[in-house]
């Protein structure tokens, strides 16, 4: 039995656009419906969690989990620039209360990729005003974060957000041939937005805030020139964001796979490599590697694994992946790294952005027509790890 630290958070994560459905006022909805889009299908009703979140949370709590990470949708809260919807704030406060009623610690993300369509039209993160717009949005949600909320993630995967802004189209994210270079101006804007948001959040006693970084576990192939290529490739895509989190209350680590880098950049997977439904290498050590990098580059701030998981139709393989990942995470904790929790991606099968609904990451299956939820064995498995606060590796 591998024991985890006291008060370790055990949970699952989602993002508003991927599960709520009908996020019609967001930039993504517009992109999904644009002609010639590389996005394979639109999100439409998603998992209808906008209405069914009480059931989602009950299933997680019944299984034994103690935390639920979900995001607030800016496009709903500020549907028009400067106009804040009280009804939507009330909705998200009800979500927080429902989590608390179920004994789930709500881990709130303020921005998970999507922005209101008006913000996109105003230049997105290229707009010099964007940090100010995000700061005002943070202020508008402050009233619903006053009680019961201990952890707030400002911006989800700013490194991927900066790459998306640098990409000509969103499909580049799905390609295995390496990610587009992040836009450095956007990166600075996101950092400024994050810092301003944190300053505002710090006025609420008891809230700890940070951003969540996609740690991509870039590894050198060891060939001549590969180490230099790794430094150039990895610094702007990962390390810069982890270094920038120095001084924050925590940093979120989000890890799925690794990418091997040769002298000319990312290498294709070797023939015979086991891959998942997203085409990524099955690589359960990714989270522990992300934790170690985050700890070193952030100067030792607390770490929360805010996403880790696998897109697979084989739920037994999901359990294998998660067990091996947790074993490696436990090793990092044994080495003295301050890891505060593990939030699996994802609570539900959901809308995987440009790849649509085919890659299933959920601990809970969702019927696409009836929205009926069916917990998978992996949910019970993770819940029992949570209940024991220990991993059985016997
Ligand atoms: C994102 C999620 C996404 C997951 C799997 C992360 O990049 O935060 O929104 O669904 O990874 O691709």
pLDDT tens-digit readout, 233-284: 999 999 999 999 999 999 999 999 999 999 999 999 999 999 999 999 999 9
CATH tag for 2-385 (out of 3.40.190.10, 3.20.20.80, 3.50.50.60, 3.90.105.10): 3.20.20.80
How far apart are the CA of 1 and the centre of ligand 1, in A? Answer: 30
pLDDT tops 90 at residue 78: yes
Residue 178 is predicted with a pLDDT of: 56
Residue 181 is predicted with a pLDDT of: 80
Q: What average pLDDT does the structure give for the chain?
A: 96
How far apart are the CA of 44 and the centre of ligand 1, in A? Answer: 18
Residue 391 is predicted with a pLDDT of: 98
Residue 168 is predicted with a pLDDT of: 53
pLDDT in tens, 140-188: 999 999 999 999 999 999 999 998 887 655 555 544 455 678 888 999 9
Q: b or e along 137-170 (b: 16 or more beta carbons within 10 Å of the residue's beta carbon)?
A: bbebbeebbeeebebbbbbbbbbbbbbbbbbeeb
Q: What average pLDDT does this structure show over 34-53?
A: 96
Q: What average pLDDT does this structure show over 288-316?
A: 98
How far apart are the CA of 367 and the centre of ligand 1, in A? Answer: 21
**Which residues' Cβ are closer than 6 Å to ligand 1?**
15, 18, 156-157, 160, 214, 254, 307, 345, 352
How far apart are the CA of 13 and the centre of ligand 1, in A? Answer: 10
Instruction: Give the tokens for residue 138.
Output: 């943070």
Instruction: For ligand 1, pick from 212, 281, 345, 350 the residue to mutate: most ligand atoms within 8 Å of CB.
Output: 345
pLDDT in tens, 90-109: 999 999 999 999 999 999 99
254 Cα nearest atom in ligand 1: 6
pLDDT in tens, 182-239: 888 999 999 999 999 999 999 999 999 999 999 999 999 999 999 999 999 999 999 9
How far apart are the CA of 225 and the centre of ligand 1, in A? Answer: 31
350 Cα nearest atom in ligand 1: 10
């Amino acid at each position: 039995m591998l024991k985890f630290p006291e008060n370790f958070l055990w949970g699952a994560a989602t993002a508003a656009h991927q599960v709520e459905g009908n996020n019609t006022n967001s930039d993504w909805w517009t992109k999904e419906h644009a002609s010639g889009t590389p996005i394979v299908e639109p999100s439409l009703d998603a998992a209808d969690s906008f209405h069914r979140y009480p059931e989602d949370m009950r299933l997680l709590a019944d299984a034994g989990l103690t935390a639920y990470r979900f995001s607030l949708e800016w496009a709903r809260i500020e549907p028009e620039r400067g106009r804040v919807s009280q009804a939507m704030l009330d909705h998200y406060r009800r979500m927080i209360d429902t989590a608390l009623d179920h004994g789930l610690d709500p881990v709130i993300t303020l921005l998970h990729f999507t922005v209101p369509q008006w913000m996109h039209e105003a230049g997105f993160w290229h707009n010099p005003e964007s940090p100010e717009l995000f700061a005002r949005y943070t202020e508008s949600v402050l009233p619903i974060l006053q009680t019961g909320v201990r952890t707030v993630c400002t911006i989800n995967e700013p490194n991927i957000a900066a790459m998306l802004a640098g990409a000509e189209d969103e499909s580049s994210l799905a390609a295995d041939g390496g990610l587009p270079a992040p836009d450095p101006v956007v990166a600075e804007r996101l950092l400024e937005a994050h810092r301003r948001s944190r300053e505002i959040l710090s006025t609420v006693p008891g809230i700890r805030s940070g951003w969540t970084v996609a740690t991509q576990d870039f590894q050198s192939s060891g060939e001549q020139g590969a180490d230099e290529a790794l430094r150039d490739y990895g610094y702007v895509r990962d390390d810069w964001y982890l270094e920038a989190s120095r001084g924050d209350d925590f940093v979120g680590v989000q890890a799925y796979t690794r990418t091997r880098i040769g002298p000319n950049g990312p290498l294709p997977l070797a023939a015979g490599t086991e891959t998942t439904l997203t085409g990524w290498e099955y690589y359960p050590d990714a989270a522990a590697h992300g934790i170690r990098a985050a700890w070193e580059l952030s100067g030792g701030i607390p770490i929360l694994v805010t996403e880790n998981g696998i897109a697979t139709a084989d739920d037994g393989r999901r359990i294998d992946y998660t067990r091996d990942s947790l074993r490696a995470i436990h090793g990092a904790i044994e080495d003295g790294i301050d890891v505060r929790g593990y939030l699996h991606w994802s609570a539900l099968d959901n809308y995987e952005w440009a790849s649509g609904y085919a890659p299933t990451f959920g601990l809970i299956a969702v019927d696409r027509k009836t929205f009926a939820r069916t917990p998978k064995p992996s949910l019970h498995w993770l819940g029992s790890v949570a209940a024991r606060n220990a991993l059985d590796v016997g």
